[in-house]
Amino acid sequence: MINTRIPFFTTLALLLFSCQLTTEPKPDPKEEPDPTDSTAFIRGADLSYVNEMLACGAVYFNEAGQQQNPYDIFAAAGTDLVRVRIWHNPDWTPYSDEADVVETIRQAKARGMKVLLDFHYSDDWADPGNQEIPAAWLGVADNVQALGDSVYNYTSRVLKLLDSEGLLPEYVQVGNEINREILHKPGQGGGSINWARNVALLNRGLSAVRDVAEDTGDDIGLMLHIAQPENAIWWFRDATQNGLTNYDWIGLSYYPVWSSYSLDALSGAIQSLRTTYNKRVMVVETAYPYTLANADQANNILGSDALVQGYDASESGQLAYLKALEKSIEEGGGEGLVYWEPAWISTTCGTRWGQGSHWDNATLFNQSRQVTQGMRYYSGE
């Protein structure tokens, strides 16, 4: 979740964590349901921060008040899918790199949860205001063919690494909140989209996933992700007109505070996207405050302006929002909802701007580290 209205949030300073589990045997792909055929509504959680939180000493408590591993808490709650981001070479943090992502996916799959892998194609946060090329690719930044090869080879290598560990994801995002043109030099890329270049680069990432899926015999749902439905309307129109069609899913970030679409109107946007482009639709980022109190020195991103009329900043309000959002998504023909960073609680670690978490009032754990009522969303309560 990145937004140009909160520029401080585009980079985060994190600390070291490592954890090893015995490699699980790779399941027979024939025994796994095809993610492009499944019709069940997907309820997911972005757990990209969990490994770091555990390294920072975070403890989590289930609804019964018992301390429990957060991966176990989400699995027991009924979470279908874990979303996890990957940066190319984040030398400012030991997290969200290949090793960290392998560990997250290993933990998720060991508990029976599917995975959505989110390629940022950057060394740092990629979002509507930032699509900065990895430093390692700067030498080919002006050569679309060579840059496309870098995208293809990197995407393929990561997926083959995961496959060798029995951890191939069921879904892959090629880019994160790619409202603007991807893979720009620092300080560039704020103007209009060069669609010929943009499509060429995105198609190379998409082709890499398709080729790995074909080679392994696995089914991988391919996703393109745009922040806010009003931006998806024009973005997918222009993308389609310029020949970008090799994907299965439209992924959306939906935060009412930054969207012109109300909760009730969202279904219309989703229906339009689904029927116009014949693609499946999932909201892959959302969140809602259970309180307006701040637990630490890191200021909260979601404040009173993030509240939707009829849903107060309470645990019951958080749960009611998620139920209402799912209803709106389903009414539009959408098929999934992923909560962004529900476990990014306050710890002794911090960001470049303060100790703690900028999301502590919008997690699915209260300030006592016990699950909120919002966690019940995953069970369909």
Active site residues: 177, 285
What is the C-alpha separation between 173 and 50, in angstroms, rounded? Answer: 20
Q: How many CB atoms lie within 10 A of CB 165?
A: 15
What is the C-alpha separation between 40 and 52, in angstroms, rounded? Answer: 31
What's the length of the chain? 381
Q: Given the structure tokens 């476990």, which residue do they identify?
A: 343
Beta bridge pairs of residue 355 = 350
What is the C-alpha separation between 374 and 381, in angstroms, rounded? Answer: 10
What is the C-alpha separation between 174 and 251, in angstroms, rounded? Answer: 10
> Contact 222/248 with Cβ under 8 angstroms?
yes
Question: Which two three-digit tokens encode residue 176?
Answer: 């994160």
CB hemisphere CA count around 135 (13 angstroms): 6
DSSP annotation string for 289-354: -S-S---SSS--SS-GGG-BTTB-SSHHHHHHHHHHHHHHHHHTT--EEEEE-TT----S-EETTE
